[in-house]
């Protein structure tokens, strides 16, 4: 494997060129190489991508200490041993350990072991199956693909065109997860996953936090999710301004001032914007192949871009499901099908049915690592109704499950299951509560596997665990005839 970072112009040929060395690009290349192709990855930043250094891993490191401390304080006998608050230096130190202090040498070693070449620099498509890579010192490497080019460049934070907002140099998720100091106060614009998680994390780290949300908190989820998370944030001292938006921003000295549509003014040392994502395709050379720069790339279920027989777009960049695990799932499909097509086969030659990413449509699992956590998969009640499904909604208070009483002295949580009445299978499940993330995969299996309600009666949950909620779902539904 070569790691080309500089030098004079050179031309290399591979079976597959992957632009972007995040988890998605790594998996596309790895699957193709495992099936006999040669592959090169092009990366302008760090091998390992957004998730490893600025998203999933550092954000969870920032969140864990506070949730662990609250868990201990919720159990008599343990709470007496808790004598202090979160140690900020320790949290940041652990965050740095998980991100390898933004050093990607271990990820590069993995590429070497997997037989994948790396070219560092900014890659641009310059024609059919051709990519030009410019390194930091101006050296150019021309890459030619025998079979396919996979765009795995991900997404970047959206900055609204609110007057004055750009001029105050706001944080995005990158600055929030990599900050070396905790500001005295933080205003967060947005009400989605990033906004809710960072409000949770920075309040635990000692900042005064105000959350400004145009609509409702966690609006795309079941309504009770935003309600329970919002209640918990308020209890811990976070100020929520719901149903309002920022109309103007300015900075006076060290303080940012946000004017809200409600007429209020929010002041904070730092401002985090978490209002959505944009595709990282603006400087990718798409115009050279008749596509519009800066747009999401539409693909079929094999991740091949519509209208092309050689270009693939995998992960966030195709806008199907902006989640690392879904991107990696897509990557396995894409790598397998690229290899199958390259060797004269069809998509059906890919192993284990991995050649199509059908789970992206209505079986996407997601965890919001607030406290309480929100774990969901499939359709919400509103989405199922909008899709015209004949459904039945099953709600259950998680605090009534025996396992919850052993977990915490004052457990608060809610669970919802959506049943497709025509097929008597689950099509959506949402859990809200402490440590519910580990309940999610069982729900995902039930939905993807289309396990009939009648069969779920024979999947017996252990006692006393939170998983006993599955039995409560079934009892609420009533045993169907089979």
233/249 same-domain check: yes
19/152 same-domain check: yes
pLDDT per residue as tens digits for the range 59-116: 999 999 999 999 999 999 999 999 999 999 999 999 999 999 999 999 999 999 999 9
* Nearest CA among 429, 456, 457 for reference residue 444: 429
pLDDT per residue as tens digits for the range 355-367: 688 888 899 999 9
| Other Cβ atoms within 10 Å of 85 Cβ, number | 12
Assigned domain for 437 exists: yes
* Nearest CA among 416, 439, 437, 438 for reference residue 427: 416
141/290 same-domain check: yes
Q: Is residue 4 predicted with pLDDT exceeding 60? A: no
Assigned domain for 146 exists: yes
Host domain of residue 467: 372-477
**142 φ/ψ angles, rounded to the nearest 5 degrees:** -95, 125
Res. 345 pLDDT band, cuts 50 70 90 = confident
Calculate what percentage of the chain has a pLDDT beyond 90: 92
- Considering 329, 359, 389, which residue would you say is the last residue of a domain? 359
Assigned domain for 261 exists: yes
The number of domains in the chain is: 3
Q: Is residue 475 predicted with pLDDT exceeding 70? A: yes
129/17 same-domain check: yes
What pLDDT is stored for residue 482 in this prediction?
Answer: 45
172/226 same-domain check: yes
150/12 same-domain check: yes
**458 φ/ψ angles, rounded to the nearest 5 degrees:** -95, 0
32/170 same-domain check: no
d(CA 302, CA 314): 9
pLDDT per residue as tens digits for the range 440-467: 999 999 999 999 999 999 999 999 999 9
Res. 481 pLDDT band, cuts 50 70 90 = very low
Q: Which residues are registered as beta bridge partners of 252?
A: 255
What pLDDT is stored for residue 480 in this prediction?
Answer: 56
- Considering 243, 275, 307, which residue would you say is the last residue of a domain? 275
d(CA 216, CA 265): 19
Assigned domain for 79 exists: no
Res. 344 pLDDT band, cuts 50 70 90 = confident
CATH number at residue 401: 3.30.390.30
CATH number at residue 352: 3.50.50.60
Q: Is 278 exposed, middle or buried (0-12, 13-18, 19+ CB in 10 A)?
A: middle
24/147 same-domain check: yes
Q: Is residue 6 predicted with pLDDT exceeding 50? A: no
Q: Is residue 352 predicted with pLDDT exceeding 60? A: no
Assigned domain for 213 exists: yes
What number is the average pLDDT over the span 284-303?
A: 97
pLDDT per residue as tens digits for the range 246-262: 999 999 999 999 999 99
pLDDT per residue as tens digits for the range 318-331: 999 999 999 999 99
335/380 same-domain check: no
Assigned domain for 76 exists: no
- Considering 296, 324, 359, which residue would you say is the last residue of a domain? 359
Give the Å distances, CA to CA, from 253 to 273, 434, 465: 20, 40, 53
Give the Å distances, CA to CA, from 192 to 114, 209, 235: 36, 15, 19
Assigned domain for 367 exists: no
Q: Which residues are registered as beta bridge partners of 144?
A: 13, 130
What number is the average pLDDT over the span 273-287?
A: 97
| pTM of the complete model | 0.94
29/150 same-domain check: yes
pLDDT per residue as tens digits for the range 389-423: 999 999 999 999 999 989 888 999 999 999 999 99
140/286 same-domain check: yes
Q: Is 222 exposed, middle or buried (0-12, 13-18, 19+ CB in 10 A)?
A: buried
Calculate what percentage of the chain has a pLDDT beyond 70: 95
What pLDDT is stored for residue 151 in this prediction?
Answer: 98
**212 φ/ψ angles, rounded to the nearest 5 degrees:** -110, 115
298/216 same-domain check: no
Show Cβ contacts of residue 458 under 8 Å, excluding neighbours closer than 6 positions.
none
Compute the mean pLDDT over every residue in the chain, rounded to the nearest whole number: 94
């Amino acid at each position: 494997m070569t790691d080309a970072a500089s030098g004079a112009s050179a031309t290399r040929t591979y079976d597959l060129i992957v632009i972007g060395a995040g988890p998605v690009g790594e998996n596309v290349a790895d699957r193709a190489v495992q099936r006999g192709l040669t592959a090169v990855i092009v990366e302008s930043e760090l091998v390992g991508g957004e998730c490893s250094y600025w998203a999933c891993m550092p954000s969870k490191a920032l969140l864990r200490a506070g949730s662990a401390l609250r868990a201990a304080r919720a159990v008599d006998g343990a709470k007496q041993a808790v004598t202090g608050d979160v140690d900020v230096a320790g949290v940041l130190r652990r965050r740095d350990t998980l991100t390898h202090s933004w050093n990607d040498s271990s990820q590069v070693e993995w590429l070497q072991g997997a037989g994948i070449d790396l070219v560092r620099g900014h890659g641009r498509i310059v024609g059919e199956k051709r990519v030009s890579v410019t390194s930091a010192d101006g050296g150019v490497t021309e890459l030619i693909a025998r079979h396919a080019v996979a765009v795995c460049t991900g997404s970047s934070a959206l900055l609204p065109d609110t007057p004055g907002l750009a001029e105050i140099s706001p944080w995005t998720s990158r600055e929030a997860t990599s900050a070396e100091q905790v500001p005295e106060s933080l205003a967060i614009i947005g009400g989605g996953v990033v906004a809710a998680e960072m409000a949770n994390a920075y309040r635990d780290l000692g900042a005064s936090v105000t959350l400004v949300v145009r609509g409702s908190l966690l609006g795309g989820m079941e309504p009770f999710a935003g309600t329970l998370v919002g209640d918990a944030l308020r209890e811990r001292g976070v100020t929520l301004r719901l149903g309002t938006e920022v109309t103007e921003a300015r900075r006076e000295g060290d303080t940012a001032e946000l004017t809200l549509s409600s007429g209020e003014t929010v002041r904070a040392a730092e401002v985090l914007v978490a209002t959505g994502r944009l595709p990282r395709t603006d400087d990718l050379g798409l115009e050279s192949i008749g596509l519009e720069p800066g747009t999401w790339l539409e693909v079929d279920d094999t991740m091949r871009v519509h209208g092309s027989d050689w270009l693939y777009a995998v992960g966030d960049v195709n806008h199907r499901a902006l989640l690392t695990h879904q991107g990696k799932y897509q990557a396995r499909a894409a790598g397998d099908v690229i290899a199958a097509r390259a060797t004269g086969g069809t998509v059906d030659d890919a192993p284990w049915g991995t050649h199509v990413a059908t789970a992206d449509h209505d079986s996407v699992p997601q965890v919001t690592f607030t406290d309480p956590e929100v774990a969901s998969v499939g359709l919400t009640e509103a989405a199922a109704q909008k899709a015209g499904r004949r459904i039945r909604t099953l709600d259950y208070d998680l605090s009534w499950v025996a396992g919850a009483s052993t977990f915490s002295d004052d457990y608060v949580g809610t669970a919802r299951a959506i049943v497709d009445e025509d097929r008597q299978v689950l099509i959506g499940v949402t859990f809200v509560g402490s440590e519910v993330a580990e309940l999610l995969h069982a729900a995902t299996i039930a939905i993807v596997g289309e396990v009939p309600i009648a069969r779920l009666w024979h999947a017996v949950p252990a006692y006393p665990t939170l998983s006993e909620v599955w039995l409560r779902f079934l009892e609420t539904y009533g045993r169907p005839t089979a």
